[in-house]
């Protein structure tokens, strides 16, 4: 598959066939992630692969409990709350593979002032995001479906506790992988002309 075709035809897949994914394919996807650009070539990404049904279920249920607290705190009706939680549980537990993409500041630069240190952390976050994009494209190119979920950002301590992550490793995203069992329609995109400015920024009305 040509790279531009992969970019244009990739979709977020949330339903998967109950088919085992080979270790070779998973390795290829993760290797692609490690070749993403990163600030200072610090490679601040770390990945945890979950294949076992019990492990996936344990993580999904722990995250769902935190999700329930947040939704009820927002005043959402109980019925709607449970509907959303059950959908989340089904998506995470039915995926053959879950990859937890994490960030570590271990090899990033350290600064004495908060402003530069915050920028350094943002650079690490961007680096992890670039690695995830590589994963999504290669997964699509080899016939797999994937979906990038940001749920761990809303309950990092829960994820760290369940997965026994070290103190210096922060969960950033959850990527579900499997052979697609759906064909989503192309999502709407803004035309290039609406999002690109040439030279100086020009307001559009």
pLDDT exceeds cutoff 70 at 204: no
pLDDT for position 105? 97
Looking at the domain assignment, is residue 167 inside a domain? yes
Please give the Cα distance from 83 to 89 (Å, whole number): 10
- What is the Cα 130 distance to its own chain's centre? 11
Q: What are phi and psi of 177, to 5 degrees?
A: -130, 145
pLDDT for position 103? 98
Which 3 state secondary structure label does DSSP give 47?
strand
| CATH number of the domain enclosing 50 | 3.40.109.10
* Residue range 7-21: mean pLDDT, rounded: 96
pLDDT for position 29? 98
pLDDT for position 1? 81
Domain with 106 in it: 3-56+95-178
When divided into structural domains, the chain yields a total of 1
Looking at the domain assignment, is residue 36 inside a domain? yes
* Residue range 124-143: mean pLDDT, rounded: 98
Helix (H) or strand (E) holding 97: strand 97-104
pLDDT for position 205? 62
pLDDT for position 138? 98
What pTM value is reported for the model?
A: 0.94
Looking at the domain assignment, is residue 62 inside a domain? no
């Amino acid at each position: 598959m040509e790279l531009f075709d992969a970019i244009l035809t990739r979709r977020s897949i949330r339903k998967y066939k109950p088919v085992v994914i080979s270790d070779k394919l998973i390795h290829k996807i993760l290797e692609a992630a490690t070749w993403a650009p990163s600030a200072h070539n610090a490679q601040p990404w770390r990945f945890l692969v979950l294949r076992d049904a019990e492990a996936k279920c344990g993580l999904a249920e722990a995250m769902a409990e935190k999700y329930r607290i947040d939704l009820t705190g927002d005043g959402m009706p109980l019925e709607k709350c449970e509907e959303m939680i059950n959908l989340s549980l089904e998506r995470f537990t039915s995926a053959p593979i879950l990859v937890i993409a994490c960030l570590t500041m271990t090899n990033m630069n350290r600064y004495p002032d908060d402003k530069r240190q915050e920028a350094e952390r943002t650079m690490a976050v961007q680096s992890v995001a670039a690695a995830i994009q590589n994963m999504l494209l290669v997964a699509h190119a080899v016939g797999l479906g994937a979906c990038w979920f940001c749920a761990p950002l809303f309950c990092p301590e829960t994820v760290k506790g369940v997965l026994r992550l070290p103190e210096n490793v922060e969960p950033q995203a959850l990527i579900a992988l499997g052979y697609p069992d759906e064909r989503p329609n192309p999502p709407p995109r803004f035309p290039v002309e609406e999002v690109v400015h040439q030279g100086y920024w020009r307001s559009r009305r």
